[in-house]
Chains A and B, each alone.
Chain A
Amino acid sequence: MSALPLSPMRATLLALALALALSGCEGRAVPVGGASKAEVERGRLLLRQFGCGTCHRIPGVAAADGDVGPALDALARRVYLAGVLPNDPVNLARFIRDPQAFKPGTAMPDMGVGEAHAADMVAYLQTLR
């Protein structure tokens, strides 16, 4: 490390740079990420193929502009799923596969999503922050 004293100007700039770097997002309670780019892209495609967009607005998914259920903007930061399940990748996959099991009577149907497909969908939805 340089022993040179910082000029006030450089100190200000350094503080500014540090502040911006530190204002990032550390220490989240729920682990995220880890999905490969291929999984994320498959998930995007599957959300379209299973018709999710007919009921939900999903950023980045073509023609996903449905207004039946809630918009999925920033879904990865959502605390609860359907008001009943704490939102983490595992619960999200379970909910996608069998919503009626967690919220009987919900308008969201069981779409017959397989485990692998649900995992890819979750990989994509985890990018919505």
Chain B
Amino acid sequence: MKPRRLRWLAVGVVATVVALGGPLAFIHGGLYDVAATAPHSVPVQWLVETVMRRSVAKRAQDVTVPPLDDRELIARGRALHDAHCVACHGGPGVAPGPEGLGLMPPPANLSYTAREWKAAEVYWVIRNGIRMTGMPAWGYRLDEHDLWALVAFLRVLPTLSPAAYRDTAQAPPRARPAVPAHPEPDADRGAQALHQYGCATCHVIPGIVGANATVGPPLGGIARRGILGGLLPNTPDNMVRWLRRPQDIHPEGAMPNLGVTEGDARDIAAYLATLK
């Protein structure tokens, strides 16, 4: 090979190593600071904020907003707000709790949110949460009625003075009747539900991104497993029982009752049945 060509080859190799090695060193070298004690840099803040706003706006387009002026709906929303939102977001004249104050990005002031965001967007965010912000998805904890009750109350929130807010405090929300199960179990819905009940924090689960923890046993091949938890024959009904209330079957066990609904348990079981 001619010296000239050799030189270009060498330049190419060096450029490739730098192009691949730089990002790899950045990722594996731990150079990015993930501490919540400091904010994002200006460009990162712009990037994530813009991506988030556009993402929510696009996905909320198809949401149909029901009537939200019903007094009882608003009152229910107030009780849910006090039970589930104030700890992180605070309220008029009420500081967020320490868990909220320590979050980065800081949880929004909801009076501000209610003025700046459309009702459909607020509903979408409450229902689905926002990854990597600390905003949880409430879609698996609250039913449709309650999700909209929160939206209904948030529309009223900016009109309340701190005194009016304080004077209208509500009793804790009463539990609503159980959500009816979906008519047909669905493995795809089950895969989504697996994320929502924290399953991935303890089990290796094939096909579930991020499910690589070894607190409990791996669930690969669980469809073929003979015994569940060492105690129950692995039938579809027993799987649902175990998913819903493992502590009823094994009170000493590390696997907690996670409040899995009947419908979600049947969906999750449908997914697990695909792991042969």
List A residues at the B interface (Cβ < 8 Å). 8-9, 12-13, 15-16, 18-20, 22-23, 55, 57, 67-71, 73-74, 77-80, 82-84, 103, 105-108
Contact = CB atoms under 8 A, between A and B. Distances in A.
B28 A16 contact: yes
B197 to A, nearest CB: 17
Contacts of A77: 214
B227 A69 contact: yes
Contact of B221 (A71, A78, A79): A71
B230 A12 contact: no
A12 B17 contact: yes
Contacts of A82: 230
11 contacts: A12-B17, A12-B25, A15-B21, A18-B29, A19-B27, A67-B225, A70-B217, A74-B214, A103-B252, A106-B230, A107-B227
Interface residues of B, number: 32
B231 A105 contact: yes
Nearest to B231: A105
Contact of A13 (B17, B217, B226): B17
Nearest to B233: A107
Q: Which of A8, A55, A82, A103 has the most CB of B within 10 A?
A: A82
Contacts of B217: 70-71, 78
Given A16-B25, A19-B28, A105-B231, A80 B216 contact: yes
Contacts of B14: 9
10 tightest A-B CB contacts, nearest first: A70-B217, A83-B253, A19-B28, A68-B226, A19-B29, A106-B230, A15-B25, A79-B215, A77-B214, A67-B224
A2 B48 CA distance: 43
B214 A67 contact: no
Interface in B1-47: 14, 17-18, 21-22, 24-25, 27-30
A12 B221 contact: no
A15 B220 CA distance: 37
Given A67-B225, A69-B226, 11 more contacts: A15-B29, A16-B29, A20-B28, A57-B221, A70-B225, A73-B204, A73-B220, A80-B215, A83-B255, A105-B230, A106-B231
- A13, A16, A20: which has the most chain B beta carbons within 10 Å? A16
